Amino acid sequence: YCIEGSSLADMTKEIVKKNGKDGTIQVLNMLAEDVKLPEGGCDIIVSEWMGYFLLYENMLKPVLEFRDRWLNPGGLIFPSKVRLLGALYSDADFWKERMDYWDNLYGYDFSSIKNMVIREQFQWPERQHLLPEGLITTTQVLASIDVYEATPETLRDIRSPFDVRATRTGNAHGAAFWFDATLEASASVTLDTGPEAGYNHWSQVIWYFDAPLELRRGQRPQGYFNMVTQEKGTIDVEFYLTFPQRVYKMATDQNPDTIYQDLHERLVWERNFALRELSADHRWPKTESSSADEASPSLERLLECLLERVDQWIEGKGTRRRVSALMVLFLFGMITARCQAGRKAKAD
């Protein structure tokens, strides 16, 4: 059986049939919670439920319930064990680009904006593809889950000490998190999503500090990590360092939508925002063959139009107007994010 709760089930059926397996694999377009298998249950469960911060997608609970209802004694589960891991991360280039950048913006001092950047951009964990050379400490196992034994209750409140060792002298700019998963039967294979494993679908999560943390090689940063799943399915995350200095980060009501995506995904989102909010009053020009009901213009065309407007605005080539144009673009990004948050809060 292939269980798929979304409309992707229709495409799955086509793929199964095209490969001559429609007599063997039955695709069920429903949630795992609603499935009723024939007498005899199943012998193997395969589910890719892992998400950002391992548990952000809140998909392990249905797997455990399905296990209790349908898995036969001695049956197998893939993956069978998962671990959430963390370490401190150094990213001087990122800090320079996102923070030191404001110290000298075309000859002007914009450093007053730094505190707002910290509040806006460093409040929550974000998704990034991290580099192995950025790891500045050893790795700490924050949670270890045996999928054969776990229960929803054991997942609801995860608490772990954080005790690592600095592998070199330098600045830690944030805490990095990832997971690994073990697929085990007669042989064992581990899926590693950490920075040292290279590019992968899940990438990693990093939670930037409000200020760089100075470390000396051999030093032992210590603290704790908490992750609590609420009844509504959102997650509260807490990370606290007590040594060598106090660092406290708290994020509530987290889910996959709250993880800041990489630049490409962010541009795609802002493109869709522009199409929704600006196309209706014809601020974006349309091609001769297009109409209000036709397909949206491409991202390249939208960016081209935006750059044309900016070029027209700063035609005088003055430094002050260049700074003003940069601020307008910066504020547009902030406004789009606030609009998204406002609409989501209104919908909730």
* Active-site option among 4, 57, 120, 238: 57
Per residue, the 3-state secondary structure of the chain, as one string, reads: CEECCCCHHHHHHHHHHHCCCCCCCCEECCCHHHCCCCCCCEEEEECCCCECCECCCCCHHHHHHHHHHHEEEEEEEECCEEEEEEEEECCHHHHHHHCHHHHCECCECCHHHHHHHHHHHCCCCEEECCCHHHECECCEEEEEEECCCCCHHHHHEEEEEEECCECCCEEEEEEEEEEEEEEECCCEEEEECCHHHCCCCCCEEEEEEEEEEEECCCCCCEEEEEEEECCCCCEEEEEEEEECCCEEEEEEEECHHHCECCHHHHHHHHHHHHHHHHHHHCCCCCCCCCCCCCCCCCHHHHHHHHHHHHHHHCCCCCHHHHHHHHHHHHHHHHHHHHHHHHHHHHHC
Catalytic residue among 14, 33, 48, 133: 48
Q: Has 57 been annotated as catalytic?
A: yes
Is residue 65 among the annotated active site residues?
Answer: no
Q: Say if CB 224 and CB 159 are below 8 A apart.
A: yes
Query: How far apart are alpha carbons 225 and 207 in whole angstroms?
Result: 12
Sign, Cα dihedral of 322, 328, 332, 334: positive
- Cα separations in angstroms, 93 against 59, 100, 263: 35, 10, 16
Give the active site residues: 48, 57
